[in-house]
Structure 1
C-alpha cells in the first residue's frame, strides 16, 4: 500500500509504503514523480518502508528502469527502512540518482525527512 504523506508539497514527494507493493502502487508513485519532474528542476523524495512483506518483481524492475532514465532529475532522496534488504536496495538504486540515496533506519526518520526538506542533517 502506498500512502502520500502530508509533507508532500512543491518539489517534494513524501511516501510511506506498507505491507504489499503492487503494480498499481508503483504506477501511482511513478506518475506522481513524473509530474513533479516536469514541473521542477529537481524532485526530492522521502521514501519510508514499514512492514513491507512483498514487492511485485515486475513493478520493481519497471521502477528501476524509470530511475535509470530519470536519475538526473532527482534531488535529495532519503529511504527509510527497517530491513537489511532495504538498505541494499537503496545502495543499488543510489548509483543512478544525481545525488544518490541516503538510507536511514526507521528510528531516524525525522532526520531523513529533515534532509529531504532542508538539505541538512
Structure 2
C-alpha cells in the first residue's frame, strides 16, 4: 500500500509504503514522481517504509519500478529512504548511484531528520 503524506508539495513527494505493494501502487508512485519531474525538472523524494515485507511485493512491479529509476535517476533531487530493516538500508545503498544526488538512509526513529533533510538539505 502506498500513502501520500501531507508534506507532499511542489517538487517534493512524500510517501509511506507498507504491507503489500501492487502494480497499482507502483503505477501511482511513478505517476506522482513523473508529474513533479515534468513540472519542476527534478523531484525530491521522502520514502518511508513500515511493516514492508519483500514477500508481499509483486516482482514484476518492482522490476518495472527499478527500470523507471534507472531511466529517470538523474531527475531526482534529494532522496531520503526511511526504514526499519537492514535490507532497506542495503536497498538505499544499491540504488544510490543511479540518483543524481544519491540516496540517504535514515532509521524509522529519524523520520523527522529525514524529512528536514529532504525539504531543506539540513541535518
TM-score by length of 2: 0.96
Structure 2, unpaired ranges of 5+: none
RMSD of equivalent CA atoms: 0.7
Offset from partner CA, 1:4-51 (integer Å, 9 cap, x none): 000000000000001111110000000111111000122100000000
Aligned residue for 1:58, secondary structure, equals helix
Q: Superposition pairs for residues 54-73 of structure 1, below 5 Å?
A: 54-73=56-75
Offset from partner CA, 1:30-85 (integer Å, 9 cap, x none): 01111110001221000000001221111111111101111110000000000111
Aligned to 1:109: 111
Structure 1, unpaired ranges of 5+: none
Aligned to 1:12: 12
CA-CA distance at 1:90 after TM superposition: 0.8
Q: Superposition pairs for residues 70-109 of structure 1, below 5 Å?
A: 70-109=72-111
Between the two proteins, the alignment pairs up a number of residues equal to 121
TM-score by length of 1: 0.97
Aligned residue for 1:95, secondary structure, equals helix
Aligned residue for 2:105, secondary structure, equals strand
Segments of 4+ moved more than 6 angstroms? none
